[in-house]
Structures are given as structure tokens and as C-alpha cells.
Structure 1
């Protein structure tokens, strides 16, 4: 949160972000969550990436990627 205040710009809180939720610390000291009904991002190599064409097909080329909710677990 201090980074958002210092930079006077929203900063993504990766530890609270999921495939369907993006949480950002705001410069005024609050948190803002943007929710999606379907996954819009996936965790790859420790970083969130948009769930667009960049994700490609899963290994083997068949089926679908598991939802990021099933892969990542919140650390409360």
C-alpha cells in the first residue's frame, strides 16, 4: 500500500489477485477489487498473465488449462 501512496498510482497486490479477481492498492490507502465471472488471467512462472491468446494450448494440445483458482491457493 505504501508503494501506491509513494507513486501516487494504483499498484497491483499480486498476493490477493486470482484468475477472477484483481486487487490493487490505491494512492488514498484503500484497496480496489475488480471481479470477473470467468478467469481473465492465469499464473505462469509466478506472474499473472492475461488469459488471452498468449496462453496458447495446454501441453499435448488437447483439453483446456485448469482454472487458475485450482492451481493457486490464497495464503491468508
Structure 2
């Protein structure tokens, strides 16, 4: 199981989040999450923790107006 799968599992465990985790061509993973701010912060805290699979060199967060259109949390 890979990083994207674990990210999705964690987002579903937190609950109330929609979005996706996507591998980028340069090896990074893009995570887009929409939901209550508190739940988004919980996902960010997990992404920054030592509990993630693999190695996380950094997390860049961008807050914006939710766009909607996501059904659940997907691995892409």
C-alpha cells in the first residue's frame, strides 16, 4: 500500500473530508482536501507527523475557497 492509499484512509478516518491524493510526475504527491477547517488541520498534522508511510520532506499548504465537485476522498 502506498502513500496515497494511506492518505485516503486517514482522510476517511478523520471524516467529513472530500478530495484526492495524486502522484505528480516529479515524485511529489498532491493532496487536495475540502471540509471543515478543523478536519483539514487534522489531515495536515498527520501529513507532517512521523506516522506517514515513506518520507515526507515538506508540506506546503494553500488555503482557498472550496470548489466542491468531489465525491468522497479518492486516490488518483
Structure-2-length-normalised TM-score:
0.30
Report the structure, 1 or 2, having the larger helix content: 2
Select the structure that is richer in strand.
1
Larger Rg: 1
Greater length-normalized contact order (CA 8 Å, ≥ 6 residues apart): 2
If the length of structure 1 is used for normalisation, what is the TM-score?
0.30
